[in-house]
Amino acid sequence: MGSRPLVAIIDDDESAREAIAALVRSLGFLVAEFADAAAFLQSDSLAQTACLLVDMWMPGMTGLALHQHLRSAGTMVPTIIVTVHATEAGRASALDAGVCCYLPKPLEPEALLACILKALANRA
């Protein structure tokens, strides 16, 4: 894996996922992409993931539900929730549940980088 942290990106919207992955790669991180939470949970990437960047609203398991599932299993992966439907209530719920950041789409590169760095600092 090298010294660059792995950021797992989970988004059911393929074009959004690819755009976010390209942005995260341009910021210098390794990326693993998944179309849903189940694919991520079944992958070998889970143990190597330094930061999770997940869409809030996906079929099956939401981003917040995935975060809560991982925490209840004792897997403390810092999580950044991204959503096109950002609300203050959603933000408050996500932050109360322990996510690092709650970002509206489209993502601002500077805000995303700040959140990833915050997530990695929380992991250390």
pTM of structure = 0.93
For the stretch 33-49, pLDDT in tens is 999 999 999 999 999 99
Domain architecture of the chain: domains with CATH: 6-123 (3.40.50.2300)
> For 42-67, what is the mean pLDDT?
94
Q: How far is CA 67 from CA 28, 56, 62, 84, 93, in A?
A: 24, 10, 9, 18, 12
Within 13 Å, how many C-alpha atoms sit on residue 16's CB side?
20
Rg of the chain in Å (alpha carbons): 13
